[in-house]
Structure formats: C-alpha cells, structure tokens
Amino acid sequence: MNDLAGKHIVLGLSGGIACYKAAELCRALIKAGASVQVVMTDAAEHFITAVTMQALSGRPVFTSQWDARTSAGVDNNMPHINLSREADAIVVAPASADFMAKLLHGRADDLLSLMCLARPLDKVPLILAPAMNREMWAHPATQRNVAQLRADGATVLDVGAGDQACGETGDGRMLEAEELLYEVVRFFAPKALAGQHVLVSAGPTFEAIDPVRGLTNLSSGKMGFAIARAAHEAGAQVTLVAGPVSLPTPRGVGRVNVKSALNMQKTLDLLSQQATVFISAAAVADWRPAQMTEQKIKKDGSGQVPTLSFVENPDILAGIAATARARSGALYCVGFAAESHDLLTHAQAKRARKGVPLLVGNIGPDTFGQDDNALLLVDEQGSTELPRASKLQLARQLVGEIARRLPAARP
C-alpha cells in the first residue's frame, strides 16, 4: 500500500555502522510511495557511499553546506534552507550520540545539522532514530539529551536490543528498516483514538479433547492483528489478546497469548476493566469437550468411535458488554460475526443478542487465512458495506468508524 503517497522525506545519515540500514529504509520509504532526498554527513560517508544512496533514492545526494547545486528548484547556494522547506519530515537514521548532542545545543557545522536547525518547527517535524554502543546509549549525558530533544519537539524513537558491531550485546541498535517505516507511517496517521485504551481479541481458540487433539477453526488472526496495528497507528494504547496463532506482534502493541475460550474469557474480563474500547475479533469456539482425557485416545481396532459430549462456551462479548452497560457505558464494545450465508440477517440478530452498538460481519470461508476481506458494519441505524480490500486497509477504516461513533457512545 502507498501509505506515504505524496510525502517527501529528507533522509539524513550521520556516522555509524547502522548506515547500511538507511539504505533499506530508503527503499522501504519509496516503496510506500514517498519521495526521498538523502543528506549525509562526512562521518556517514565513511560507512556508506553517496553513490549507493543516490541509486536507491533516484536523486543526487547532498553532503555539504557549500554545495552550489540547485536544490528545491532554487539556485541560491542555500541547500540547508531549500531542502528543509520542501520536506514533509526530516528523518535522521542513524542519529549518532554526537549528532544528537549537536542538535541539543543548536550547533550547526554541517549541512544536516544546519537543515535540522533551519527547518520551520511548525511545518517540518524531525524524527530521530538513535544508533550507538550500549554504554553510549545508557550514559546519563545521552539520556539527558534524548529527554531534552523530545521536550524541544523532536520525535526520538526508541532503540533495539541485540548484538552490536563492536561485539557487545544490549540496547542501542538502530531499529530495523521495517520498524522505522512503521514509525514514519504512524507519525503521519490521524490520531483519532488518542487517549483511548483499545483491547482487541484475535485468532481462534483451541478446545482440548486429549493431550494431542482438540477443536479449533480456520481463523488466522490476521484481521484482529491488523485492527490492533491500526488502533496503535491512530494513537491508542493497545492490548491484543491472541489465540494460538504464529503472527508477529504489531509494533507498539502489548500482547497476551491464550489458548482456550475459558482462558480468553478470564483474560478479557480482567483487561476490559482498564479499556475504553473492546473489539472482539476472535473466533471463539462455541463448544468445548465436557472433559479432556489425560492420555491420548487410542484406536482399539474395534471400529467403534469414542463418544464425546460437549458443553457450551461462555459468550465472552455479551458478558463484557453487559458489564459495560452496568458501568454506564464506560467501555465501547464492537463485535464480529463470521457467517457462511445470510450475513446481514445473522449480523443484525447477533448485534441485538450481544447487546453491542456495532457489529462487524464477514463471510468466514471467504476470509479465513486470506490477506484481504470485505466487511459489513451493522449498528442501530442500519448497515454499511466496506468493499473488499487488504485487512490493514479495512482495519484503518474500521478504526475511523469506531472513533467517529465514540462521542455518541459516551454518557
């Protein structure tokens, strides 16, 4: 998806081995629809060449404040002014400890620091991706600088942990290119859910028959995980309760893994007490075996099939919605209905039965395991179709619809 279509990013590189990740980031930004202008310090050129960055960005790379080439269509020998004026954001990745200290004190002795200082503060945001040795990152001076840069309005991203080029292990690695891309996309996303705590359930449940068998369904969890990401992009604090799936946790989202419907109910009942929005996207099993055998059920050659009895699982969403109503609507609940036919009829009935203001319906066989989906939103006023699109696109649309409804949902 062209998440950054129409955006122009100035990508700044200061010195550090993490410059190789800047090459990947440049490609990722362009793939997301942005145009990229690279600016490098002298130190950065010791780690990666301007030729490489020019090939990836498709634009000449600027390295000196004395560069007389025309920039931004202006021939005034002021690239530090011209380049910043056309940018939607300046992203410095990597941002070394020295470069951040320089910015803190307003020093501007190279093109990149000049540009950061000369940018219009109210129009061109500054995003810094730190990269350094673990001891440098933990040093009180660096931490003071990071805190002050944030206070001054810069967005200073966190760092990754792991093996470092020096052979040590710890905090200080620059985030990976895909993580940085996510942070840039999230920066520009409307913060429609700022201040909200969103609880999302996702994936199937697994109801054990014996130690190696159980009942489950074809839900992949992809829709719920996309919703968690979209809610985080929209500025919410997000907690994701996931059934047994192998999907990576969306960046910035807290995750709790569960297995059975009873596990999920207990976890959601607890977490919903702190949430303001609950989106029940999990495909919870309707029934579970009345008893789980302690050992694997074996064939005995008789041809007789074991007799299994089942009990109904609790209705998690209906229970949480009822509790929310008792709390005077402090929690806005959204349900999901995965149907095989007559979607509108079943979704309307399910919304009334669950007692929720918004029910999201889809045709299960058409979406389980897929990367795209089509949704039907059902509320008290009627229904709205969201045409087939990627699950992330739909999740963003759904988050917008929920945000639009929230004021009416408050007492």
Indicate which CATH number applies to the domain containing 140.
3.40.50.1950
Q: Which of 26, 116, 166, 333 is catalytic?
A: 166
User: Strand pairing of 310-312 and 287-289?
Assistant: antiparallel
- Are 256 and 149 contained in the same domain? no
> Is residue 2 one of the residues assigned to a domain?
no
**Cα dihedral 184→187→193→199 (10° resolution):** 30
* CA-to-CA dists, residue 203 to 223, 273, 333, 336, 386, angstroms: 8, 21, 18, 12, 21
* Helix residue ranges, H only, 152-272: 177-188, 222-233, 261-271
Domain boundary, last residue among 141, 167, 188: 188
Give the lowest-confidence range in 107-116, 266-275, 302-311: 302-311
Which of 292, 207, 210 has the alpha carbon at shortest distance from 244? 207
Spell out the residues 6+ positions from residue 333 whose beta carbon is closer than 8 angstroms to its own.
277, 278, 280, 317, 320, 321, 324, 354, 356, 357, 358
Residue 272: pLDDT band by 50, 70, 90 thresholds? very high
Judge contact between 201 and 280, C-beta under 8 A: yes
Domain range for 71: 8-188
Average pLDDT of the chain is 93
- Are 205 and 287 contained in the same domain? yes
Q: Following DSSP, what letter does each residue of 250-293 receive, concatenated?
A: PTT-EEEE--SHHHHHHHHHHHTTT-SEEEE--B--SEEES---
- Are 202 and 343 contained in the same domain? yes
- Are 226 and 114 contained in the same domain? no
Please report the pLDDT score of residue 127 as a whole number. Answer: 98
> Is residue 35 one of the residues assigned to a domain?
yes
Q: Mean pLDDT throughout 166-172?
A: 91
118 sits in the region (left: phi over 0; alpha: psi -120 to 50; else beta) called alpha
Other C-beta atoms lying within 10 Å of the C-beta of residue 108: 17
- Are 29 and 86 contained in the same domain? yes
- The yes-or-no answer on residue 333 being catalytic is no
For residue 397, the SS3 value is helix
Domain boundary, last residue among 188, 215, 231: 188
> Is residue 350 one of the residues assigned to a domain?
yes
- Are 168 and 214 contained in the same domain? no
- Are 87 and 229 contained in the same domain? no
Secondary structure letter of residue 175 according to DSSP: P
Q: Which amino acid is at 4?
A: L
Is 80 exceeded by the pLDDT of residue 99? yes
Residue 363: pLDDT band by 50, 70, 90 thresholds? confident
> Is residue 385 one of the residues assigned to a domain?
yes
- Are 204 and 180 contained in the same domain? no
Helix (H) or strand (E) holding 299: none
- Are 134 and 227 contained in the same domain? no
- Are 96 and 20 contained in the same domain? yes
Is 80 exceeded by the pLDDT of residue 344? yes
Q: What's the domain count of the chain?
A: 2
The Cα 199–Cα 320 span in angstroms is: 12
> Is residue 353 one of the residues assigned to a domain?
yes
- Are 154 and 272 contained in the same domain? no
Domain boundary, last residue among 188, 215, 230: 188
